[in-house]
Amino acid sequence: VMLDQRRLPGEVCYHRYAKPDEVAEAIRGMVVRGAPAIGIAAAYALALVARYERGDAKLFLVANGTAGRILNGTRPTAVNLAWAIARMSRKAGEVAELGPEERFAGMLTEAEAIHREDVAACQRMGALGAEDVPEGAVILTQCNAGALATGGYGTALGVVRAAHAQGKRIRVLADETRPYLQGARLTAWELHQDGIPVEVITDNMAGHFLQRGEVQFVVVGSDRIAANADVANKIGTYSVAVLANRHEVPFTVAAPWSTVDLRTRSGADIPIEQRPGDEVARVGDTVVVAEGVECRHPGFDITPASLVDAIYTERGVVRPKLGERPDVLIG
């Protein structure tokens, strides 16, 4: 069952899916979005395979492999998707020889574990990040890296939630995040529901507020962190990082370990999803660009490690500006 994030905040509407290709369509179509959330959705989709494919081990593994490839092809930048599919495929190998009911139970338990572990990871990184948030800070964030984008609680918004829960009098400035408006539609919605003070600004206002000293901390999520600590996140994040560095405001990232991709050497190797230009040509249903004019829409950008003060994960904190790389947290 998925909350349709395309319709928020105007409408709270849920869809039920019974087949992995329906879930793949929901991921591709942004019903569910956010790196950890699409990984979790893919994990449940692979549990669904075990529910309908009741044939022998070979048939089950073929169905699992096909569904995994379809799901993996939906969105290329968020590595959590491939990570969750690989973990579920390992589980499929373990349970393949069992009877259909036990197989389904095994796959469902694994998907639920991925989901539960993500929430725990968000809470842990939130607590670590909150230690760095100054009392009374105005916190700038880009996109939605909240409960909606994860198993619950959120990565960047996990840091915000933890700071708020500690009694720090923080406020959030949410970049609206053109063209999909995740900041305006989703971040503001979920913080407002939790009673955490939030104001929405258009993306081009961030520099103004940083220049005036009205922002004390920046925290964003990530779709993939390379071995050298370069960070892929929603388009516009790099601009925010440059501005934050120019004004000596900490620029930080919160992400679960499933977002860290040690096999990708640097940001230059991270695939950037190219979305339809039509999404730029419209604001909601209103067309704002003359017909026939082409638009560009890279969905993500790369922030170099040299601009990142901290990466909060459930394993601990990496400080890229001090020369640390994610592999310091291994072992």
Q: Is 92 or 254 the residue whose CB approaches ligand MRU more closely?
A: 254
35 binds ligand MRU (CB under 6 A): yes
Task: Provide the Cα torsion 68, 254, 201, 210; round to 10°.
Answer: -140
Shortest separation between residue 212's beta carbon and ligand MRU, angstroms = 25
Of the candidate residues 106, 299, 320, 326, the single one contacting ligand MRU (CB under 6 A) = 299
Shortest separation between residue 299's beta carbon and ligand MRU, angstroms = 5
Shortest separation between residue 276's beta carbon and ligand MRU, angstroms = 13
Number of C-beta neighbours around residue 90 at 10 A: 10
Task: Find residue 284's DSSP bridge partners.
Answer: none
- Helix ranges (H only) for the chain are 20-28, 35-52, 57-72, 79-95, 100-130, 156-165, 182, 188-193, 206-211, 237-246, 278-281
Touching ligand MRU, residues 188-227 (CB under 6 A): 221-223
33 binds ligand MRU (CB under 6 A): yes
Helix (H) or strand (E) holding 233: strand 231-234
Of the candidate residues 36, 39, 68, 320, the single one contacting ligand MRU (CB under 6 A) = 36
Structure tokens at 188: 């503001």
Touching ligand MRU, residues 45-84 (CB under 6 A): 78
Q: Is 33 or 161 the residue whose CB approaches ligand MRU more closely?
A: 33
234 binds ligand MRU (CB under 6 A): yes
Q: Which residue type sits at 281?
A: A
With contacts defined by CB under 6 A, name the span among 28-36, 127-135, 210-218, 261-269 that binds ligand MRU: 28-36
Query: Of 49, 58, 65, 47, which Cα lies nearest the Cα of 110?
Result: 47
Query: The tokens 């009205």 sit on which residue?
Result: 214
Shortest separation between residue 223's beta carbon and ligand MRU, angstroms = 5
Helix (H, G, I), strand (E, B) or coil at 73: coil
Q: Is 8 or 143 the residue whose CB approaches ligand MRU more closely?
A: 143
Of the candidate residues 233, 245, 252, 264, the single one contacting ligand MRU (CB under 6 A) = 233
Nearest-Å Rg of the Cα atoms of the chain is 20
Of the candidate residues 64, 74, 182, 303, the single one contacting ligand MRU (CB under 6 A) = 182
Over the window 133 to 172, marking each residue x when it contacts ligand MRU by CB under 6 A and - when it does not, the resulting string is ----------x-x---xx----x-----------------
Shortest separation between residue 97's beta carbon and ligand MRU, angstroms = 36
Distance, in Å, from the CA atom of 130 to the CA atom of 166, rounded to the nearest integer, reads 8
252 binds ligand MRU (CB under 6 A): no
Helix (H, G, I), strand (E, B) or coil at 162: helix
With contacts defined by CB under 6 A, name the span among 18-26, 33-41, 64-72, 263-271 that binds ligand MRU: 33-41
Pairing of strands 300-303, 286-287: unpaired
Query: Of 146, 149, 160, 147, which Cα lies nearest the Cα of 218?
Result: 160
115 binds ligand MRU (CB under 6 A): no
Phi and psi, residue 11, nearest 5°:
-140, 135
Q: Is 140 or 145 the residue whose CB approaches ligand MRU more closely?
A: 145
Q: What are the residue numbers of the active site?
A: 223
Q: Which residue type sits at 324?
A: E
Positions touching ligand MRU (CB under 6 A) are 33-36, 78, 143, 145, 149-150, 155, 182, 221-223, 233-234, 299
